[in-house]
Amino acid sequence: MNNYCLAAVGFCALLCGGISTATRAHADDATVTYKSLSPDLALEAAQAALKPCRADGFQVAVALVGRFGAAQVMLRDRFAGVPAPRTAGDKAWTALGFRANTSDLAKSIQNESLDAKLAVLPRVTMLAGALIIECGGTLLGAMGVSGAPGGDKDEKCARAGLDAIRDKLDF
């Protein structure tokens, strides 16, 4: 093969390699990779939240929503009130949507740093009892508990659920 042919082959290889790299870079911009809780870990967290409430004599519902707001787990104790599952889910959804624990949101409404009109939006439930699930700066979801006599007690149970899985999160 003469030098002209070798140069042409080299140019083609360089051009094709550049196109491949450009295509790969463009494809990387078109997709998103994210982390989420596995169903097993979400269930474990919800079960761990239910235990301290039961131990304290409270019949509650525990809801866990994934990073996009869809229900991942719902547990309702036998004698939890009829509104408890929906309220727990809405608390979790609210925490996720505002990216804040609902006890902090409730305080922000009370001290008027958040507009009280937000609390009347559909599904928005500014009651203590839901915590965001965040690890390594990544929002994974939120857990809400409802049915104990007071949001502070609901939140205590939610915190127990998150504490139970904290060491199993992979980052």
Angle at 136 between CA 131 and CA 140, to 5 degrees: 45
User: Which amino acid is located at 60 in the chain?
Assistant: V
Confidence at residue 16, expressed as pLDDT on a 0 to 100 scale? 52
Check: CB of residue 157 under 8 Å from CB of residue 148. yes
Kindly state the tokens that stand for 124: 């928005």
Q: Which residues of the chain have pLDDT under 50?
A: 6-9, 11-12, 14-15, 171
Confidence at residue 9, expressed as pLDDT on a 0 to 100 scale? 47
| Per-residue pLDDT tens over the stretch 16-57 | 555 555 556 566 788 988 889 999 999 999 999 999 999 999
- Does the pTM surpass 0.85? The reply is no
Confidence at residue 25, expressed as pLDDT on a 0 to 100 scale? 59
Confidence at residue 24, expressed as pLDDT on a 0 to 100 scale? 60
User: Which amino acid is located at 42 in the chain?
Assistant: A
What is the Cα gyration radius of the chain? 24
